[in-house]
Amino acid sequence: MNISNQEYGELTKKRSPNSKMYKTLPKAFLIGGTICTLGEGLLNLYAYLGLKEEHAAALTSMSLIFLSALLTGFEIYDRIAQHGGAGTLVPITGFANAVVSPAIDFKSEGYILGLGAKMFVIAGPVIVYGVSASVIYGIIYYIIGLF
């Protein structure tokens, strides 16, 4: 069969997402769901130990971030992420992985502009846009409250 490179490109583009999605979606669901269930378990554990709801939630996030940092350091998280896709990206552990991974990788470029700066490569924009959106919401909420 004679097809040009361009046609081949279009063909693979058409075929590849669908042929993969029956695998990637269930994997993302299972792995992402598992991480969230672990979070629910920690939340209940900390509440059971007598922490206030707010503190239990904060400690849950911190625990998941710590676990993710540890697993990223031992290069286990990236191995799970090869299967998990968005299932390992979307939970807060994915955010932690996005901080820890460049911190380790760019240490060779120095502790300030390597480790210190590059850990914000993805976390930076997340904080910039998240915080800015919340400030806009706060201003709107304040103005609405005036009437």
Residues 94-113 that bind other proteins (CB under 8 A): 94-96, 98-100, 103-105, 107-108
Whether 68 contacts 74, CB under 8 Å: no
Calculated CA dihedral for residues 11, 13, 15, 18, nearest 10 degrees: -170
Among positions 50-89, residues that touch other proteins (CB under 8 A) are 57-62, 64-66, 69-70, 72-75, 84-87, 89
For residue 17, CA distances in Å to 83, 116, 129 come to: 15, 37, 29
Residue with tokens 């806009």: 136
Q: Among residues 3 and 133, whose Cβ is nearest to other proteins?
A: 133
Residue number with CB closer to other proteins (2 or 78):
78
Q: Is 30 in the site for other proteins (CB under 8 A)?
A: yes
Shortest separation between residue 82's beta carbon and other proteins, angstroms:
13
